[in-house]
């Protein structure tokens, strides 16, 4: 039988909690019940009235969407929160936005690893006052939920461009390379900066410089695929992490061998497209001459071809970027091939 409204309403945790929490041992301090897999969770959820169900995405079945649909049916009042690694965020966004039988498959997601206390605070804000009401002296209200979202944004986003910030890019790169190593995946890092930005600031003022940075951010996101991660890592420096994506099928052996010898062609196509879009950009703060004058210099480095860690890829891509600038700017170079601008690649 389901519990009465007067009883404590627990949170159900599903999956390998060691992959979601920095201090997984502290979960026992919360009014939680833990199920190692979705099959067991279905039975537990059908017999109990949980306020929220948190699902660890790492290690979950490839049929996660159908499992969430069933979970929603057996415990329809519970808020479903996904616990996602950074590289799983695109899939988490899809699942939160996916509507089935009049409701979303999931209500929200959290980026992991996270502390148990941070998880508790966030899930209470998602789950509302009903979530673990007997354990919390005061439930998190709407204002507190807004505050949490603002803090999350400050921790992961660049305030000028809205892109991911340096901290996020570094941690995402580390996670996605670790994931790619296990799954035979491919990761390519593009580092670039705006050529001669200082001169634009000196001539037109810093508002114009900020406009250039924001325009570059918009164009880069428009050129990239939805799962690629674009960030501003400082000043006029940007980084883009290209990877196979959550919906990519297994990489064939021939393609994998090719990936170790060459940079993925789709990345080069995207980089070229961005160069063309930036050159055509209209920047009204620069007056009538503010079109067709912006260029970038960049460097590309790929895993596993050019390095096995995030630090190695950043170092190699930065070397290629410096070579591009020394050669006259307005170029994107491949690692180890300073004579080969991507403009020369068909």
Bridging pattern class, strands 337-341 and 332-334: antiparallel
> Within a 13 Å sphere around the CA of 182, how many CA atoms are in the beta-carbon half?
7
pLDDT of residue 153: 60
> Within a 13 Å sphere around the CA of 115, how many CA atoms are in the beta-carbon half?
3
pLDDT of residue 312: 96
* Two tokens, residue 190: 């593009």
| Complete domains list, the chain, with CATH | 11-156 (3.40.50.2300), 166-344 (3.30.70.270)
pLDDT of residue 308: 93
pLDDT of residue 35: 93
Range list of H helices, 247-301:
253-261, 265-279
Q: What is the DSSP letter of 111?
A: E
pLDDT of residue 105: 87
Bridging pattern class, strands 187-194 and 296-303: antiparallel
Residue spans of the chain under pLDDT 70: 1-9, 61-62, 100-102, 125-154, 246-263, 284-292, 336-340, 346
**Residue that the structure tokens 């808020």 belong to:** 79
112 strand-pairing partners: none
Q: Cβ distance 231 to 164 under 8 Å?
A: yes
Helix axis angle, 206-223 to 265-279, nearest 10°: 140
pLDDT of residue 346: 59
Bridging pattern class, strands 337-341 and 103-104: unpaired
**Rounded distance, CA 282 to CA 274, Å?**
14
Q: Cβ distance 236 to 213 under 8 Å?
A: yes
pLDDT of residue 146: 54
Question: Residues 6 or more apart from 205 whose CB is under 8 A from it?
Answer: none
pLDDT of residue 302: 92
Bridging pattern class, strands 103-104 and 99-100: antiparallel
**Rounded distance, CA 61 to CA 125, Å?**
27
CA 13 to chain centre: 23
């Amino acid at each position: 039988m389901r519990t009465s409204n007067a009883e404590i309403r627990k949170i159900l945790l599903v999956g390998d909690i060691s992959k979601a929490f920095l201090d997984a041992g502290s979960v026992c301090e919360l009014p939680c019940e833990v199920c190692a897999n979705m099959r067991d969770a279905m039975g537990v959820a059908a017999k109990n009235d949980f306020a929220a169900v948190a699902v660890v995405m790492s290690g979950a079945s490839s049929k996660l969407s159908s499992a969430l649909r069933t979970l929603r049916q057996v415990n329809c009042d519970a808020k479903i929160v996904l616990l996602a690694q950074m590289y799983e965020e695109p899939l988490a966004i899809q699942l939160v936005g996916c509507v089935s039988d009049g409701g979303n498959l999931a209500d929200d997601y959290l980026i992991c690893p996270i502390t148990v206390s941070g998880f508790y605070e966030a899930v209470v804000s998602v789950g509302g006052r009903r979530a673990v009401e007997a354990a919390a002296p005061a439930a998190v209200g709407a204002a507190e939920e807004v505050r949490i979202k603002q803090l999350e944004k400050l921790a992961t986003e660049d305030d000028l461009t809205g892109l991911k910030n340096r901290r996020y890019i570094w941690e995402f790169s580390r996670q996605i390379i670790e994931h790619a190593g296990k799954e035979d995946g491919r990761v390519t890092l593009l580092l670039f900066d705006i050529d001669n930005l200082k001169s634009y600031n000196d001539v037109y003022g810093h508002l114009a410089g900020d406009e250039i940075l924001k325009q570059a951010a918009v164009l880069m996101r428009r050129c990239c695929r939805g799962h690629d991660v674009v960030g501003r890592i400082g000043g006029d420096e940007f980084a883009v992490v290209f990877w196979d994506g959550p919906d990519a099928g297994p990489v064939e052996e021939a393609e994998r061998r090719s990936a170790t010898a060459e940079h993925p062609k789709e990345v080069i196509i995207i980089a070229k497209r961005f160069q063309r879009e930036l050159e055509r950009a209209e920047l009204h703060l620069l007056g009538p001459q503010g079109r067709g004058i912006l260029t970038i210099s960049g460097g590309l480095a790929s895993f596993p071809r050019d390095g096995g860690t995030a630090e190695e890829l950043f170092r190699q891509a930065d070397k290629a970027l410096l070579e591009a600038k020394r050669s006259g700017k307005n170029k994107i170079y491949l690692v180890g091939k300073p004579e080969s601008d991507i403009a020369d690649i068909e």
